[in-house]
């Protein structure tokens, strides 16, 4: 009689255990809560955009599928793809030259190549316009020396492609350079000993191992271009960010601006899916024991000076010209009747004094944002690397939508 109740008792115990939370260490619960919080924050924006766009109904659909919107979509995707390909073309040889060769001063060049990251996009665009734009410094110089009164305009797609490439290539460069430093040189040496040429070794051995780094860097670059507003506005190139700004501020139509922003979110998700598919399940690990030895620098030989010219040209255009132009305008502004204005308590002095609070605000906001970003990103990174399951990969992918 008692045994007849055993299955029912076991069923009740099983049902009770099914409702119990799984046993995990406290830090895993903390990481789980952080992941849920990040997903909630990241999903607020697309949910809000979806609700606001739905308010207009048919008008939102007409706007999304209009000729103007599709043209803007083509320009945005074209600019993102062009900048991504250009950054790869610059970053791969630049990273290899500053990491794997006997390039003169490669430590100096490796540091200088990363510094364009500190220049905001709108500042870089403004500086390039003052140099290469109409009535800019270059045109004034050419007019004085050779009588040239006009040069090709920097506005539009060429200027946006140039400026965004020069300020975003460090994302790919840093990723590829870190991957090159982790490579085991014995694989390339074995390939060379078996008769492969230098180019064949690079294409068949080295480049496949750089694919995850290239994909990661390209992801950051493409997302950077999609969300950029300053450079495309300064260079008069209409992408979604500029069109959304005009729609919101000039026409005061939040619903249609939300519909356009929703397209930008869809573009971001599409890039994330493409990145995940491109990366695949490829993993590259060392199987030998012990620490990986450092590769001997490749002797450039007769290619040393052409390589130095390439690296120097990139640093010149991406860093020295913007920094030099900014320094020129600062000195020029301070020199204009500075002494007379200082005695009179002029605008120059008050504007210079106003820079210090602005600089402090920038530094303090940047520091606090960096600390908060680190606190939020560290648990996500640990979960994605140590336990790469579907949930953690989902959290990792969703975090990119805020970029």
162 vs 90: CA distance, rounded Å: 12
Strand partners, 101: 298
Residues present in the chain in total: 403
How is residue 197 written in tokens? 């040429």
Distance between CA atoms of residues 230 and 126, nearest Å: 9
For residue 320, pLDDT beyond 70? yes
Q: In whole angstroms, give the CA distance from residue 300 to residue 282.
A: 31
DSSP 202: I
How many Cα atoms within 13 Å fall on the side-chain side of residue 202?
9
In 3D space, the residue among 41, 67, 51, 46 whose CA is nearest the CA of residue 261 turns out to be 46
Q: Which residues, 6 or more positions from 74, have their beta carbon under 8 angstroms from its beta carbon?
A: none
User: Which tokens is 178 given?
Assistant: 């870190």
Report the topology of domain 53-281+294-321.
Answer: MetI-like fold (1.10.3720)
pLDDT digits over 367-393, tens only? 998 898 888 778 777 777 777 777 777
Confidence of residue 11 (pLDDT cuts 50, 70, 90): very low
User: Do 102 and 307 meet the contact criterion of CB atoms below 8 Å apart?
Assistant: no
pTM score: 0.80
- 57 burial (CB, 10 Å; 0-12 / 13-18 / 19+) is exposed
- SS3 label, residue 142: helix
Tokens 């040209």 identify what position?
A: 313
pLDDT mean over 216-236:
91
The pLDDT confidence band at residue 349, using thresholds 50, 70 and 90, is low
Which residue has 């609700």 as its token pair? 51
Q: Examine the pLDDT at 125 and tell me if it is beyond 90.
A: yes
Confidence band, pLDDT 50/70/90 cuts, at residue 364: very high
Sorted by sequence, the CB contacts under 8 Å of residue 133 that are 6+ apart come out as 139, 153, 154, 155
Handedness of CA 373, 375, 381, 387 (dihedral sign): negative
Give residue 324's pLDDT band: very low, low, confident or very high (50, 70, 90): very high
Residue 159 CA to residue 368 CA, distance in Å, equals 33
Cα–Cα distances in angstroms (integers) from residue 32 to residues 13, 25, 379, 394, in the given order = 27, 11, 9, 12
Burial 345-379 (b: 16+ CB within 10 A, else e): eeebeeeeeeeeeeeeeeeeeeeeeeeeeeebeeb
Chain centroid to CA 145:
40
Of 366, 121, 65, 365, nearest to 241 by C-alpha is 121
Q: Tens digit of pLDDT for each residue in 263-307?
A: 888 888 888 778 777 765 555 555 454 455 566 777 888 889 999
Q: Strand, coil or helix: what is 298? A: strand
Contact 206, 183 (CB under 8 A): yes
Is residue 18 scored above 50 in pLDDT? no
Contacts of 201 (CB under 8 A, 6+ apart): 188, 191, 192
More confident position, 99 or 281: 99
Spatial distance between the Cα atoms of 323 and 311, rounded to a whole number of angstroms? 17
**How would you class 392 by CB atoms within 10 Å of its CB: exposed for 0-12, middle for 13-18, buried for 19 or more?**
buried
Question: Is the pLDDT at 123 greater than 60, yes or no?
Answer: yes
């Amino acid at each position: 009689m008692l045994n007849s109740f055993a299955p029912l008792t076991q069923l009740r115990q099983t049902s009770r255990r099914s409702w119990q939370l799984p046993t995990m260490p406290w830090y895993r619960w903390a990481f789980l809560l952080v992941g849920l919080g990040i997903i909630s924050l990241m999903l607020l924006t697309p949910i809000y955009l979806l609700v606001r766009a739905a308010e207009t109904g048919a008008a939102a659909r007409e706007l999304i599928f209009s000729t103007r919107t599709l043209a803007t979509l083509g320009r945005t995707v074209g600019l993102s793809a062009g900048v991504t390909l250009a950054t790869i073309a610059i970053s791969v040889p630049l990273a290899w030259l500053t990491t794997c060769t006997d390039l003169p001063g490669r430590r100096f060049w490796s540091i200088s190549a990363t510094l364009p990251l500190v220049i905001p996009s709108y500042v870089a665009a403004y500086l390039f316009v003052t140099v290469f734009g109409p009535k800019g410094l270059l045109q004034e110089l050419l007019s004085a020396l050779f009588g040239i009164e006009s040069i090709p305009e920097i506005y539009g797609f060429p200027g946006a492609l140039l400026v965004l490439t020069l300020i975003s290539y460090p994302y790919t460069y840093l990723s590829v350079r870190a991957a090159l430093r982790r490579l085991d040189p014995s694989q390339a040496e074995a390939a060379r000993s078996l008769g492969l040429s230098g180019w064949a070794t690079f294409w068949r051995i080295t480049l496949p191992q750089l694919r995850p780094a290239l994909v990661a860097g390209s992801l950051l670059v493409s997302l950077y271009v999609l969300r950029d507003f300053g450079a495309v506005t300064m260079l008069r190139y209409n992408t979604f960010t500029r069109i959304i700004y005009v729609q919101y501020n000039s026409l005061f139509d939040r619903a249609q601006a939300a519909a356009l922003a929703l397209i930008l979110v869809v573009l971001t998700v599409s890039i994330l899916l493409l990145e995940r598919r491109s990366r695949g399940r490829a993993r590259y690990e060392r199987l030998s024991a012990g620490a990986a030895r450092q590769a001997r620098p490749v002797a450039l030989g007769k290619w040393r000076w052409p390589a130095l010219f390439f690296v120097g040209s990139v640093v010149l255009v991406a860093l020295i010209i913007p920094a030099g132009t900014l320094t020129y305008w600062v000195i020029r502004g301070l020199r204009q009747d500075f002494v007379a204005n200082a005695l009179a308590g002029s605008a120059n002095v008050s504007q210079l004094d106003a820079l210090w609070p602005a600089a402090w605000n920038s530094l303090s906001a940047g520091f606090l944002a960096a600390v908060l970003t680190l606190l939020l990103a560290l648990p996500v990174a640990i979960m994605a690397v140590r336990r790469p399951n579907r949930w953690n990969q989902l959290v990792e992918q969703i975090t990119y939508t805020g970029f």
